[in-house]
Amino acid sequence: MLGRGLESLIPNKSVADSARESQREGGSRMTVVPGGEAVFQIEIDRIVPNPHQPRKNFDEEALLELAASIRELGIIQPLVVTKAEKETERGLEPEYQLIAGERRLRAAKIAGLSTVPVIIKKVGEEKEKLELAIVENLQRDNLDPIEAARSYAKLQEEFGLTQREVAQRVGKSREVVANALRLLNLPTPIQEALSQGKLSDSQARILLAVTDPREQERLFQDTLQNNLSVRELKARVSRVKDGEKGQGKLSMLEPRLAFFEERLKASLQTKVTLKTSGNGGEIRIQYFSPEELEEIAQKILDRDI
């Protein structure tokens, strides 16, 4: 089921089916958006949170701004839910689990709305709900880099997907997914700073290149305290790495080595380090997952392995 992609997971409903669905929703108002999807007005108190929500941080000020916009313009983009039933004293009543749109739901509550527009997806198994929830949120919501990385990791762990398969699910390149997953190797304080917007994902990736934890922490604090730009941080990291290699003056050969190093990085799409020792040396190629190792090996050998 999971291998068939998102479109097979979400069957399209005809307008006639949507009309019958509207009657089953107890007369909730229904409209049809371009593409044929039905949008229902559902009571807010019937919508329950999504346990698989990737977003963990909700900016209160941004929610208030969104609530003000909703009061004036309404909710432009419908929420996405899946329908279930719960048992009450009056019998079975419909309940809706949120798949995507928690920011809009929270803002709608602040704005005092009693109903919100929703698109109802028919999803069966819990694992289908999990995949759909993660994919919908990654495609629709502006997640911070760590939330996105954790979502990619969850897709890998829960469904045994490769980075390439995750990338196909969410409409990203494999490089984007791989770079995001590397951020999870950062210490918790740096991840938190990235989630809170105190650090950019470019700065975080530069800090990943520092292998000494003490130097990494020092450069992290230096970046926050002195508001270092990406270029300034990169220069400081380069100086640290030069010190780690014990390099003094640049030899006449180094510009050519740097040229080869950059060509190898571009060809293999990963971190490559050249080290010299006399007339010889070594090439160090880094990989961050078994799938990435396989892809690098295929590029080097120029054939499937």
Distances (CA, A) of 107 to 51, 76, 99, 111: 19, 13, 16, 6
> What percent of the chain has pLDDT above 90?
8
DSSP class per residue in 124-184 = -SHHHHHHHHHHHHHHHS---HHHHHHHHHHHHHHH---HHHHHHHHT--HHHHHHHHHGG
Give me the percent of the chain exceeding a pLDDT of 70. 72
Residue 193 confidence (pLDDT) above 90: yes
Asked whether the domain spanning 144-185 has the same topology as the one spanning 2-138, the reply is no
For residues 101 and 67, the answer to whether their CB atoms sit within 8 Å is no
Domain ranges of the chain: 2-138, 144-185, 187-248, 251-305
Catalytic, out of 37, 102, 147, 292:
102
pLDDT exceeds 50 at position 7? no
Tens digits of residue pLDDT in 84-127 = 777 666 767 778 888 778 888 888 999 999 899 988 887 666 56
Q: Note if 43 is an active site residue.
A: no
Residues pairing with 92 in the sheet: 87
How do residues 278-295 score in pLDDT, each as one tens digit? 677 888 887 767 777 888
Q: Summarize the confidence of residues 60-69 as an average pLDDT.
A: 84
Kindly report, residue by residue over 231-263, the tens digit of the pLDDT: 888 888 887 776 655 444 334 446 777 778 878
CATH topology of domain 144-185: Arc Repressor Mutant, subunit A (1.10.10)
Residues 2-138, CATH architecture:
Alpha-Beta Complex (3.90)
